[in-house]
Amino acid sequence: MPSEKAPGRSMKEQAQHWMTPVLDLLFPPRCIVCKQPGADICSTCLQTFMPVPEPVCEVCSEPVSTPGLCDRCRQNRPAFFRVYSAYCYEGAVQQAVQALKYRRRKSLSKPLALSLAEQVPLPAAENALIAAVPMHVDRQTQRGYNHAALLAVELSKRWGIPLLSSHALRRTVNTKTQVGLKYTDRVENVKGAFYADSHEVTDHTILLIDDVCTTGATLDAIARILLTAGAEAVIGITLARTI
């Protein structure tokens, strides 16, 4: 009989799922930044998150010296309508993202998503659906979860906007990490790496969620695929942005 468990949800994962509330009672979570017991990230540390300084590029949200578009967007307009990034990727935000991503602190997704939603107002869009930047199935099985999808689930609840089904937007090529690549290599690295199901995305505005935006190359590549598949528009929303 086919298993109905989610991809990558191993027995160990399921055991952790049931054990977490018990473990939280015995060993209350500690703030990943200041180590105080009580929460995955405490309110004091959340308040140190630094919003991206204005003015930012009206398309990709990169800080610019004068309001308008940055040089890159002026020369080569990305496919997404625009990107909203809440905070600078540094300090406590960076520690939180790395813990969510690499240290299995999945419960950080809720306070981080709520913090994002405080900083970035829900974009006005009709027929909106929320989607996460997809991870290749091999990498997701290895890690056990997609951290961007955890943020997307929390934002969907917070904003009351439905999620796009996970099979409708996929990463079909297991691309190497974008970390350390320059812009042109990033664009090349993610070219043709995604698939979108036109039945699911046609006429919808897709709010595309990721943890960090660096150059916007990944969001741009996915936006192109979504628009080709019939999406009305794509708006990127990320917790943080490299500055």
Instruction: Using DSSP bridges, classify how beta strands 82-88 and 169-171 pair: parallel, antiparallel or unpaired.
Output: unpaired
AA identity, residue 208: L
Integer Cα distance of 83 and 151 in angstroms: 16
Integer Cα distance of 123 and 19 in angstroms: 37
Please give the distance of CA 156 from its chain centroid, rounded to a whole number.
12
Q: How far is the CB of 217 from Zn ion (least distance, A)?
A: 12
Contact 67, 58 (CB under 8 A): yes
Integer Cα distance of 122 and 155 in angstroms: 10
Nearer to Zn ion, 60 or 108 (CB): 60
Nearer to Zn ion, 92 or 149 (CB): 92
- List Cβ neighbours of 63 (8 Å cut-off, separation of 6 or more): 52, 53, 54, 55, 56, 57, 243
Nearer to Zn ion, 37 or 162 (CB): 37
Q: How far is the CB of 41 from Zn ion (least distance, A)?
A: 6
AA identity, residue 207: L
Nearer to Zn ion, 115 or 140 (CB): 115
Q: How far is the CB of 186 from Zn ion (least distance, A)?
A: 14
Which residues within the stretch 11-70 sit at the binding site for Zn ion (CB under 5 A)?
Answer: 31, 33-34, 42, 45, 57, 59-60, 62, 70
Q: How far is the CB of 235 from Zn ion (least distance, A)?
A: 14
Q: How far is the CB of 44 from Zn ion (least distance, A)?
A: 5
Which residues within the stretch 190-209 sit at the binding site for Zn ion (CB under 5 A)?
Answer: none
Integer Cα distance of 237 and 242 in angstroms: 14
Nearer to Zn ion, 48 or 142 (CB): 48
The residues that bridge with 132 in the sheet, in sequence order, are: 209
Q: How far is the CB of 111 from Zn ion (least distance, A)?
A: 11
Interface size with Zn ion, residues (CB under 5 A): 11
Contact 152, 231 (CB under 8 A): no
Nearer to Zn ion, 15 or 34 (CB): 34
Among 40, 49, 56, 73, binds Zn ion (CB under 5 A): 73
Is residue 92 close enough to count as binding Zn ion by CB under 5 A?
Answer: no
- The residue length of the chain stands at 243
Q: Which residues contribute to the site for Zn ion (CB under 5 A)? A: 31, 33-34, 42, 45, 57, 59-60, 62, 70, 73
